[in-house]
Copies of this chain bind each other. A is one copy, B any other.
Amino acid sequence: MNRAAIYHVCGGSYAFPVNKNTLRIRLRAARNDLDRVVVVYGTRYPGDGEDPYLSQEMELVACDELHDYYEADIRLDDARFRYHFYLEDVQESLWLNEKGFFEERPRGFFSGFFQYPLINYADIFSTPDWVKDAVFYHIFPERFYNGDPSNDPRGVSPWGGKPGRKSFFGGDLEGIIKKLDYIESLGVKAIYLTPVFKSPSNHKYNIDDYFQIDPHFGDLETARRMVIEAHRRGIKIIFDAVFNHCGYDFFAFKDVRQKGEKSQYKDWFEIESFPVQTDPTNYRTFANNIARMPKLMTGNPEVREYLINVATYWIKELDIDGWRLDVADEVDHHFWREMRKAVKEIKEDAYIVGEVWHNSEDWLQGDQFDAIMNYPFTYAVIDFFARNRIDAGTFDAQLAKNRMLYQDSVNYVMLNLLDSHDTPRALHFFEGNKEKFKLAVLFQMTYLGAPMVYYGDELGMTGGEEPASRGCMVWDKENQDQNLLDYYKKLISIRNKLTPLLRGNYKTILVDNIRNIYGFTRHYRGQSVMVIINNSPRPQQVKIKKFKNRGTITDHLSG
CB within 8 A of A5: which of B5, B10, B43, B122? Answer: B5
Q: Give the residues in chain B near A11, CB-CB below 8 Å.
A: 359, 361-362
CB within 8 A of A121: which of B299, B327, B366? Answer: B299
Q: Is the CB of B379 within 8 A of A335?
A: no
Nearest neighbor of A345 in chain B, beta-carbon distance: B301
Per-residue 0/1 for A27-50: is the Cβ within 8 Å of any B Cβ (1 yes, 0 no)?
A: 001110100000000010111000
Compute how far the CA of A4 lies from the CA of B401 in the bound complex, rounded to whole angstroms: 13
Compute how far the CA of A100 lies from the CA of B359 in the bound complex, rounded to whole angstroms: 12
Cβ of A543 < 8 Å from any Cβ of B? no
Q: Is the CB of A100 within 8 A of B66?
A: yes
Q: Is the CB of B9 within 8 A of A358?
A: no
Compute how far the CA of A333 lies from the CA of B115 in the bound complex, rounded to whole angstroms: 15
Compute how far the CA of A333 lies from the CA of B366 in the bound complex, rounded to whole angstroms: 10
A12-B362, A367-B367 are known contacts. Are A299 and B66 too (CB-CB below 8 A)? no
Q: Is the CB of A332 within 8 A of B298?
A: no
Q: Is the CB of B5 within 8 A of A358?
A: no
Q: Is the CB of B330 within 8 A of A117?
A: yes
The smallest C-beta distance from A401 to any residue of chain B, in angstroms, reads: 8
Compute how far the CA of A164 lies from the CA of B4 in the bound complex, rounded to whole angstroms: 47
The smallest C-beta distance from A418 to any residue of chain B, in angstroms, reads: 15
**Interface residue tally of chain A, by bracket?**
35 or more
Q: Which of A113, A297, A334 is the most central at the interface, judged by chain B CB atoms within 10 Å of its CB?
A: A334
CB within 8 A of A120: which of B43, B80, B332? Answer: B332
Cβ of A398 < 8 Å from any Cβ of B? yes
Q: Is the CB of A287 within 8 A of B45?
A: yes
The smallest C-beta distance from A82 to any residue of chain B, in angstroms, reads: 9
Compute how far the CA of A404 lies from the CA of B311 in the bound complex, rounded to whole angstroms: 38
The smallest C-beta distance from A431 to any residue of chain B, in angstroms, reads: 18
Cβ of A273 < 8 Å from any Cβ of B? no
Per-residue 0/1 for A86-98: is the Cβ within 8 Å of any B Cβ (1 yes, 0 no)?
A: 0000000000001
Compute how far the CA of A7 lies from the CA of B10 in the bound complex, rounded to whole angstroms: 17
Q: Is the CB of B288 within 8 A of A47?
A: yes
Q: Is the CB of A123 within 8 A of B330?
A: no
Q: Give the residues in chain B near A110, CB-CB below 8 Å.
A: 379
Nearest neighbor of A304 in chain B, beta-carbon distance: B122
Q: Is the CB of A359 within 8 A of B4?
A: no
Nearest neighbor of A270 in chain B, beta-carbon distance: B121
9 A-B pairs closest in CB distance: A120-B332, A4-B5, A4-B30, A122-B299, A122-B332, A45-B288, A11-B362, A117-B329, A118-B330
